[in-house]
Amino acid sequence: MLRFLTAGESHGEALVAILDGMVAHLNLSEDAISKELERRQEGAGRGERMKIEKDKAQILSGVAKGETLGSPIALLIPNKAKEAWEKPFTQLRPGHADLAGAIKYNQKNLRPILERSSARETAARVAVGAICKKFLAEFKIKISSSVIHIGGVSSQKDIEQAIEKAKKEGDSLGGVFEVKCENLPIGLGSCMQWDKRLDGLLAQALMSIQAIKGVEIGLGFESTRLKGSKVHDEIFYNNNKFTRGSNNAGGLEGGMTNGEPLILKAAMKPISTLLTPLNSVDIATKKPAKAYVERADICAVTAAAVVGEAMASFVLANAFLEKFGGDSMEEIRSNFSSFQYPKNML
C-alpha cells in the first residue's frame, strides 16, 4: 500500500514529502522529479512567486545509486520566498481557509492558516506524483493533462486575453482541466466495498487539491441531460478482444477500470486572493475591512492540471500495486507479465 504525507509552510524553510510503500529497484533521479516541478510552475496567469521559486527536489532517503530501496522516500523542496512569516494579518480573505481555520485552531493571527492551506503545498504532491508516474510508465501507462477552458474560453489566444483583462481589473479566473490515463489494465479497483471503488478514490484525490470544486469522470454531469441509450458504451467482441463504441464512462465502470482510457475532469474556482480585495471583517477588531492581499496568481488552472496528474498517478500506482503485488520491480514485472485474464472470458 502506498501512502504519503507532506509537511512545511508556504513561506517556511522548505516543503517535505515522505512516500512510503514504493517498491525497490525503480530507477529514479532528482532531475526526473524536478522536471515535473518545473511543469507545475508554468502556464498563463502565474504570479510573481514563480519568478522567485525555482523548485528542485532533493532526495534525502529511500534511493541509492539511482534506484529506490523499498524504504520510505523522503523529499525536500527548499523555499526561497520566506519573508512573509514576518507579516501577521487579521483581515479575513473570502474563499480561503482563514475564518474556519482560525476558529478551529484558535489563531488570532491568520498567517499560520495561510501558510499551511496555501496551494504551495501541492509542490510536494507533484514530487510524490512524479515517482508514481515513473513507476506506472514502466508498464507503459501514460498520464497526461490538458486545459479544457479558462474563464469559459478555450483557445490559447482568448485565454491569454481573458487573463490579462482579469489582471487589469484586479480579479482572478478559474477553469476546467482534464487528466487522461492510457493503457491501464482492466480490473484496477473493486466493486466490492465503497472504499475500494477507484472512482471514489480518484474523486477524493482530485477534490483534495486546493480550489477544486467539482470532479467528473467521463461524460460526467452531461450524462444527466441524456437518455441511457445515448450514454452507455456499447460492447463488441472482435479479434479476441472486447471493445467499446464510445467511452462515455471515462474508463471506469462499477469502481473498476474497464480497459478504456481513464478520463477525469476537475473544476477549479477562481483564485481567492484578489488584487482588488472584497469586503470582509478584521478577525481581531470584528470591524469591516478589506480582505488581506497576499502575492497570488491570477489563474493557476494549468498548474492545477499538473497536480491533478500527480494525484491520479498516486491513486493508480496504489491500485496497480494492490492488484499485482510485490516488493521489487522484478517481482512486479513478473506478476504483471504472467497475469492472464480468465481464458474462458477472452
pLDDT, one tens digit per residue, over 243-280 is: 999 999 999 999 999 999 999 999 999 999 999 999 99
pLDDT at 49: 65
CA 65 and chain centroid, separation: 29
What integer best gives the mean pLDDT of the chain?
94
Known binder of ligand: residue 93? no
269 and 221 Cβ atoms separated by less than 8 Å: no
Percentage above 70 pLDDT, the chain: 97
pLDDT at 294: 87
Known binder of ligand: residue 186? no
Query: Residue 240's domain is classified under what CATH number?
Result: 3.60.150.10
Q: How confident is the model at residue 195 (pLDDT cuts 50, 70, 90)?
A: very high
**Grid cell listed for 334:** 513478473
Known binder of ligand: residue 340? no
> First vs last Cα of the chain: how many Å apart?
30
Of the CA atoms within 13 Å of residue 111, those in its CB half-sphere come to 11
Known binder of ligand: residue 117? yes
Question: From start to end of 124-259, where are the E strands?
Answer: 142-150, 175-182, 212-217, 235-238, 241-244, 252-253, 256-257
Identify which has the larger pLDDT, 29 or 44: 29
Secondary structure letter of residue 129 according to DSSP: H
Residue type, 101: G
123 and 40 Cβ atoms separated by less than 8 Å: yes
Known binder of ligand: residue 273? yes
Pairing, β 73-78 against β 142-150? unpaired
Q: How confident is the model at residue 81 (pLDDT cuts 50, 70, 90)?
A: confident
Q: How confident is the model at residue 346 (pLDDT cuts 50, 70, 90)?
A: low
What is the tally of structural domains in the chain?
1
Say yes or no to pLDDT of 28 above 90. Answer: yes
Known binder of ligand: residue 46? yes
Known binder of ligand: residue 118? yes
Cα distance between residue 273 and residue 110, in whole Å: 14
Known binder of ligand: residue 3? no
pLDDT at 335: 95
299 and 173 Cβ atoms separated by less than 8 Å: yes
Residue type, 305: A
Cα-only R_g, the chain: 22
Known binder of ligand: residue 271? yes
Pairing, β 67-69 against β 73-78? unpaired
φ, ψ (nearest 5 deg) of residue 129 = -60, -30
97 and 117 Cβ atoms separated by less than 8 Å: yes
**Residue pLDDT, tens place only, 123-171:** 999 999 999 999 999 999 999 999 999 999 999 999 999 999 999 999 9
Known binder of ligand: residue 116? yes
Host domain of residue 202: 3-345
